[in-house]
Amino acid sequence: MANVKAAELSALGGATRERAGGIGLFAGGLLTLLLVMVGVPLVMVVLMSLRTGFPGEGGPLTLANFAAVYSAPSTYKILLNTLQFACGTVVVALAFAVPLVWLLNRTDIPFKNTIYVLMIVGILVPVFLRTIAWILLLSPRIGLVNQWAMQLFGLDQPVISLYNIPGMAFIQGVSFVPSAFFMLGAAYRTMDPSLEEAAYTSGVSKLQTFLRINVPITWPAIAGVMVYLFMSAIAVFEVPAIIGYPARILVLSASIFTSTNPPTGLPNYGIAGAYGAVMLGAGLLLAYFYVRLVQHGKKYTVITGRGYRPREIALGKWKWAALAFSFLYLSMEVFIPFLVLLWASLLPHLQLPSAEAWEQISLNNFATIFDFVDALPFINTAILMIAVPTLTMLLSVLVSWIVVRTQVSFRGSLDTIAFLPHAIPSILLGVGLAYLSLAYRVYFPVYGTVIIIAIAHTISWIAYGTRTTNGVMIQVHRELEEAGKVAGASTARVLGRIVLPLVASGIFNSWIWISMLAYREVTMALTLGTRKNVVISTIVWQFWGSGWVPQVAALGVILVLFAVVVVGILKIVFARYGEFGADGH
Amino acid sequence: MRKWFDSRRGRVEALRGIDLEVAEKEFCVLLGPSGCGKTTTLRSVAGLEKPDAGELEIDGTLVNSPTKGVYVPTEKRDIGMVFQSYAIWPHMNVFNNVAFPLIKGRRKIAKDQIAPKVSAALKLVQLDGLEDRPATDLSGGQQQRVAMARAMVTEPKILLMDEPLSNLDARLREQMRVELRKITKAAGLTTLYVTHDQAEALSLGDRVCVMNEGEIIQIAQPQEIYARPASLFVAQFVGEMNFVKGEVKAKDRVDCPLGAMAVAVPDGLAAGTGVTLAIRPEHVKISPAPSHGVATRLGKITSKNYLGDAALLEVEVNGVTLLAKLAGDTELTVGQNAVVELPEQRWHVFAESD
């Protein structure tokens, strides 16, 4: 008996080793693919910073670009602007996100679910549309608020302007609130509520408990979110391009874009690379701090009891103040931008509400939209919405399966590489890929196609994709898989019949979410854009550049409504699977 | 010290009239299945839940009374509490965890007295010498002790414990059970303890309060609970029990499949009423040879479960399977016919509707 067992064991061991070899090879291939996808655009950014002339002209490597950029005083103004803009953005985002996290997680604020859903809708309103809407409201020249104030008080000066760093930080900060909210909320929920209750039963006051217990324990998470927001604020492009650029307030991202897409003259990839290298360096450094903070935070998560939900704090008469605060935020995030766009889309030209304006209201702008745009951008956008999530989720599932389920020695590195795009600014990814496809068009003949945008998007969201697939894979207990094998099912059958059905809803959820992100993305689409691969978001951008406000508004309304309808339907379908797209960004 | 309250929360009545008084220095255990309201009761005493009706006093001070508009918040109540998850603050070391209630809490004391107090508390739970250890580097049993020390360091009027042993493994749990009682007695603490483990309740409590569906079913000393369960629920929940359905024939007679039993029928159960008879396995006597003086029956042994110090035997009598607990060295085996003795004074009689 004992002998038979030993023989069986050694046979089993042999089979496992053999299969481990196959998995190792497969994982190695995957690692190489990811290294190429993530590494090559970054190498291109570095390479272009060391070369002068057009992409593909070759020539010796030189530091001339750095010398040109960092000897110009204007560069330091740009860096200072970037820093101020990023700090302001973080402050604005946290000022709204922290109270909202507390209100929605710990108090009995009414309409909780509605607020949640509207936050998610907020993510789907593209930042550039929100920015445009706020310009229509607060621009000194055409802004409705200024027009109205000047009319009412007989002023000849506008009362408020968005064209300054606080204005930019305000719009960007408001746009970051949902990301900050969902990240902080996740950290807050992993904190055992009895840690707080233990302080109360020790006779410690609510304020002291908040300061001495809640803040220190959640501090790594809050610091992590701050670093993450700061990192993102340095990299964002839409607000700096739409508000900052016309007002001559340049930040790094806008400088990179204008170097490669100058309004007049020839593109200078070398200069863009020299700006980009700084942004890349700062991004990677901040990403390192971010990972450190997150790991530190994990040390603080402790095993909880049976999860007795803490009593919700009764707000009493403060309920309405809390609701007003949430409503104020949601107005800035969703309601006001949407209403402004809707108003502008129904009129032949932007004007204040009046009897005359009411008479001119029509759906004309919607009906004539196809006089301005053909079907191509819609087709291209549809291609992105299907190709990008499919590619991303396919890669994510494979990566997560290796990372979570196998013993491959370099699975940690694989996970890190997959997470790295989180730290890569989309503007650099776009510029790097543009340079690659221009300089090496013989080997990589995709310049000006929708394929290159799809590649950029896939690289960009593989970090988000793998985070969610890691999550769902961990939730499927290893024993479920092993029980299947013990029952005599093959590896393929176990994957297909046990693992896949269990993770399918989670994966589909992320698929839809990434599809929506691809739908609204503009930065990469713009840096990689030509006349052939226009998508809806870049068309809106072009319209805005041409000053076609009613058409921008009409397309914007369509863009937002479509996203809301898709998410609305999925929210209902997915109601039993928990939050939809909870930690998307 | 008195406390009683009942609470109606929404449509679910979590607690439907709890009337309980814990005497000074008493160790009182709330025992019941999950969802019976024992934790809600404990948390109401702590002020972490607000009862919707009724009054609650700690050491003569009214801390909760919705009718009088009194609600003393948790942090102002003179209590200590040990949580199921221990709730050790991960960003502090052992010393700071225990000292925190003295530094920031309700009972701030002079700085130079903190260290001796903390040392005394840590000594009581046998953790002296680990003051500087980060809380995250402690084992489950050590975290448990830190939580105890932290809850006791302020010498609270009442110590509340919410299933503190349920996250420990079996051996450590039994060890801590003995120690827990020693520590609370040594510190002279009044304790209210919640558990769903009946063995824990019987061994720890001066008094055990069995709860079900938001109500107290029986409050008594552990021996009383075990020997004289007040209802069918308590009989089922505490310890092992054989149950046989029967029908009342007279004041002192119940008929059941085992035959006519001469047992004392409780008042209020008229002839013809259906009842449940119950007897503990250790009171079912099985022997190969007939003995005299008690009603004897013949049965057949259908299974034997040997446990070392004891053996559990299933014996079938008149189509009824009874569980008997015998000494481990019994020589009875499966398939053997045996005489079954069911001493009549050991039977409990419960109304069917209980």
Q: Length of chain B, please? A: 354
> With helix as H, strand as E and coil as C, how does A22-60 read?
HHHHHHHHHHHHHHHHHHHHHHHHHHHHCCCCCCCCCCC
Residue A415 sits in the same domain as residue A531: yes
- Select from B91, B108, B117 the residue whose CB has the most chain A CBs within 10 Å, as the one to mutate to test that interface: B91
HSE (side-chain half, CA atoms, 13 Å) at B128? 10
Determine the residue of chain B that is closest to A205 in CA distance.
Answer: B75
Chain A neighbors of B41, CB-CB under 8 A: none
Residue A579 scores a pLDDT above 60: no
Residue A147 sits in the same domain as residue A39: no
SS3 of residue A388 by DSSP: helix
Chain A nearest C-alpha distance from B208 (Å): 23
Domain count, chain B: 2
Rounded-to-integer distance, Cα B241 and Cα B238, Å: 9
Residue B182 sits in the same domain as residue B46: yes
Residue B113 sits in the same domain as residue B58: yes
Q: What pLDDT, on the 0 to 100 scale, is given for residue B14? A: 65
Q: What pLDDT, on the 0 to 100 scale, is given for residue A20? A: 57
Residue B109 sits in the same domain as residue B178: yes
One-letter amino acid at A282 equals A
Structure tokens at A57: 């002209």
Residue B13 scores a pLDDT above 90: no
Arithmetic mean of pLDDT over chain B = 86
CB distance from A558 to chain B under 8 Å?
no
Residue B272 sits in the same domain as residue B160: no
Rounded-to-integer distance, Cα A114 and Cα B349, Å: 56
Residue A140 sits in the same domain as residue A197: yes
CB distance from A208 to chain B under 8 Å?
yes
Chain B neighbors of A204, CB-CB under 8 A: 75, 100-101, 104-106
Q: From the CB of residue A230, how many other CB atoms can be counted at a distance below 10 Å?
A: 20
Judge whether A464 and A510 are in contact, CB under 8 Å: yes
Q: Residue B195: which CATH number?
A: 3.40.50.300
Smallest Cα–Cα separation from A179: which of A97, A114, A238? A97
The partner residue sitting opposite B90, judged by closest CB among A197, A201, A300, is A300
Residue B229 sits in the same domain as residue B316: no
β-pairing, B285-287 with B296-306?
Answer: unpaired
CB distance from A300 to chain B under 8 Å?
yes
Give the tens place of pLDDT for each residue, A160-169: 888 999 999 9
Residue A480 scores a pLDDT above 80: no
Cα torsion B340, B345, B351, B354: sign: negative
Residue A357 scores a pLDDT above 70: yes
The values of phi and psi at residue B78, to 5°, are -85, 75
Residue A18 pLDDT level (bands cut at 50, 70, 90)? very low
Residue A269 sits in the same domain as residue A153: yes
Q: What pLDDT, on the 0 to 100 scale, is given for residue A205? A: 84
Residue B286 sits in the same domain as residue B192: no
Residue A225 sits in the same domain as residue A266: yes
Chain B neighbors of A295, CB-CB under 8 A: none
Q: Which of B192, B213, B235 is the last residue of a domain?
A: B235
Question: For the stretch A254-278, what's the b/e string if a residue is b when 16 or more beta carbons lie within 10 angstroms of its beta carbon?
Answer: bbbbbbbeeeeeebbbbbbbbbbbb
Residue A350 pLDDT level (bands cut at 50, 70, 90)? confident
CB within 8 Å: B87 and A195? yes
Cβ-based interface (< 8 Å): residues of B facing A: 39, 43, 46-50, 73-81, 83-85, 87-91, 100-101, 104-107, 136, 147, 150-151, 154, 160, 162-163, 167
Give the tens place of pLDDT for each residue, B51-106: 888 888 888 888 888 888 888 888 888 899 998 888 888 888 999 999 999 988 77
Determine the residue of chain A that is closest to B137 in CA distance.
Answer: A299
- Residue appearing with tokens 């009239």: B17
Residue A57 sits in the same domain as residue A202: no
Chain B neighbors of A208, CB-CB under 8 A: 104
Chain A neighbors of B46, CB-CB under 8 A: 197, 200-201
| Domain range for B25 | 3-235
Give the tens place of pLDDT for each residue, A182-203: 888 877 776 777 888 889 888 8
Q: What pLDDT, on the 0 to 100 scale, is given for residue B318? A: 87
CB distance from A71 to chain B under 8 Å?
no
Chain B neighbors of A216, CB-CB under 8 A: 91
Q: From the CB of residue A194, how many other CB atoms can be counted at a distance below 10 Å?
A: 27
Q: Once rounded to an integer, what is the mean pLDDT over residues A556-564?
A: 90
In a domain, A276, yes or no: yes
CB within 8 Å: B74 and A200? yes
In a domain, A217, yes or no: yes
Q: What pLDDT, on the 0 to 100 scale, is given for residue B94? A: 93
Residue B354 scores a pLDDT above 60: no
Chain B neighbors of A304, CB-CB under 8 A: 85
Rounded-to-integer distance, Cα A584 and Cα A298, Å: 20
Chain B neighbors of A108, CB-CB under 8 A: none
Residue A380 sits in the same domain as residue A481: yes
Rounded-to-integer distance, Cα B230 and Cα B348, Å: 9
Q: Once rounded to an integer, what is the mean pLDDT over residues A212-216?
A: 84
Burial of A466 (0-12, 13-18, 19+ CB in 10 A): buried
Arithmetic mean of pLDDT over chain A = 84
Q: What pLDDT, on the 0 to 100 scale, is given for residue B296? A: 67
Residue B35 scores a pLDDT above 50: yes
β-pairing, B53-58 with B3-9?
Answer: antiparallel
Structure tokens at B119: 């040392």
A310-314, A519-523, B234-238: which has the minimum mean pLDDT? A310-314
Give the tens place of pLDDT for each residue, B278-318: 999 999 988 876 655 555 688 889 999 999 889 999 999 98
CB within 8 Å: A201 and B91? no
| Domain range for A511 | 30-62+368-585
Smallest Cα–Cα separation from B6: which of B43, B46, B56? B56
Residue A529 sits in the same domain as residue A395: yes
A45-49, A470-474, B60-64: which has the minimum mean pLDDT? A470-474
Residue B151 sits in the same domain as residue B13: yes
Rounded-to-integer distance, Cα B5 and Cα A369, Å: 69
Residue B227 sits in the same domain as residue B247: no
Q: What pLDDT, on the 0 to 100 scale, is given for residue B280? A: 94
Residue A299 scores a pLDDT above 80: no
In a domain, A351, yes or no: yes
More reliable by pLDDT, A553 or A13 = A553
Residue B259 sits in the same domain as residue B223: no
SS3 of residue B322 by DSSP: strand
- The angle, 0 to 180 degrees and rounded to 10, between the axes of the packed helices A73-106 and A215-235 is 140
CB within 8 Å: B84 and A194? yes
| First-to-last C-alpha distance (Å) of chain A | 58
Q: What pLDDT, on the 0 to 100 scale, is given for residue B208? A: 95
The partner residue sitting opposite A203, judged by closest CB among B91, B107, B163, is B107
Domain count, chain A: 2
Residue A358 sits in the same domain as residue A382: no
Q: Residue A538: which CATH number?
A: 1.10.3720.10
CB within 8 Å: B104 and A204? yes
DSSP codes joined into one string, A299-360: HT----SS--PPPPBP-GGGHHHHHHHHHHHHIIIIIHHHHHHHHHHTSSS-----HHHHHH
Smallest Cα–Cα separation from A44: which of A434, A472, A474? A434
Smallest Cα–Cα separation from B38: which of B227, B204, B226, B197? B197
Chain A neighbors of B101, CB-CB under 8 A: 202-204
Give B173's contacts (C-beta < 8 A, 6+ positions apart): B165, B166, B200
Q: Residue B254: which CATH number?
A: 2.40.50.100
Residue A358 sits in the same domain as residue A377: no
Determine the residue of chain A that is closest to B135 in CA distance.
Answer: A300
Q: What pLDDT, on the 0 to 100 scale, is given for residue A98? A: 87
Give the tens place of pLDDT for each residue, A91-101: 999 999 988 98
Residue B44 sits in the same domain as residue B80: yes
Task: Please give the helix or strand (H or E) that residue B159 lies within, else none.
Answer: strand B158-162
Judge whether B76 and B154 are in contact, CB under 8 Å: no
Residue B151 sits in the same domain as residue B186: yes
CB within 8 Å: B75 and A205? yes
CB within 8 Å: B107 and A308? no
Judge whether A50 and A65 are in contact, CB under 8 Å: yes
Give the tens place of pLDDT for each residue, A390-420: 999 999 988 988 888 788 888 888 988 998 8
- Residue appearing with tokens 């609970």: B225
- Residue appearing with tokens 């790097």: A432
Judge whether A403 and A20 are in contact, CB under 8 Å: no
Cα torsion A344, A349, A350, A353: sign: negative
Q: What pLDDT, on the 0 to 100 scale, is given for residue B289? A: 61
Rounded-to-integer distance, Cα B74 and Cα B278, Å: 44
DSSP codes joined into one string, A413-431: HHHHHHHGGGGS-HHHHHH
Determine the residue of chain B that is closest to A300 in CA distance.
Answer: B90
Q: Once rounded to an integer, what is the mean pLDDT over residues B124-142?
A: 87
Q: What pLDDT, on the 0 to 100 scale, is given for residue B242? A: 93
Determine the residue of chain B that is closest to A218 in CA distance.
Answer: B91
Rounded-to-integer distance, Cα A104 and Cα A579, Å: 14
Q: Which of B184, B207, B235 is the last residue of a domain?
A: B235
Q: Which one-letter DSSP state was computed for residue A407?
A: -
Determine the residue of chain A that is closest to B40 in CA distance.
Answer: A308
- The angle, 0 to 180 degrees and rounded to 10, between the axes of the packed helices A165-189 and A215-235 is 140
Residue A323 sits in the same domain as residue A389: no
Chain B nearest C-alpha distance from A189 (Å): 15
- Select from B40, B41, B48 the residue whose CB has the most chain A CBs within 10 Å, as the one to mutate to test that interface: B48
CB within 8 Å: A201 and B104? no
Chain-centre distance of CA B351, in angstroms? 24
Percentage of residues in chain A with pLDDT exceeding 70?
A: 91
Chain B neighbors of A213, CB-CB under 8 A: 89
Q: What pLDDT, on the 0 to 100 scale, is given for residue A584? A: 36
Rounded-to-integer distance, Cα A46 and Cα A48, Å: 6
Q: Once rounded to an integer, what is the mean pLDDT over residues B177-194?
A: 90
CB distance from A316 to chain B under 8 Å?
no
DSSP codes joined into one string, A286-298: HHHHHHHHHHHHH
Smallest Cα–Cα separation from A69: which of A208, A245, A216, A271? A271
Residue A154 sits in the same domain as residue A134: yes
Residue B211, CA distances (Å) to A58, B51, B88 in order? 84, 17, 29
CB distance from A203 to chain B under 8 Å?
yes
Q: Once rounded to an integer, what is the mean pLDDT over residues A256-272?
A: 87
Chain A nearest C-alpha distance from B351 (Å): 35
- pTM above threshold 0.90: no
Residue B197 sits in the same domain as residue B285: no
CB distance from A306 to chain B under 8 Å?
yes
Q: Which of B203, B235, B267 is the last residue of a domain?
A: B235
Determine the residue of chain B that is closest to A296 in CA distance.
Answer: B91
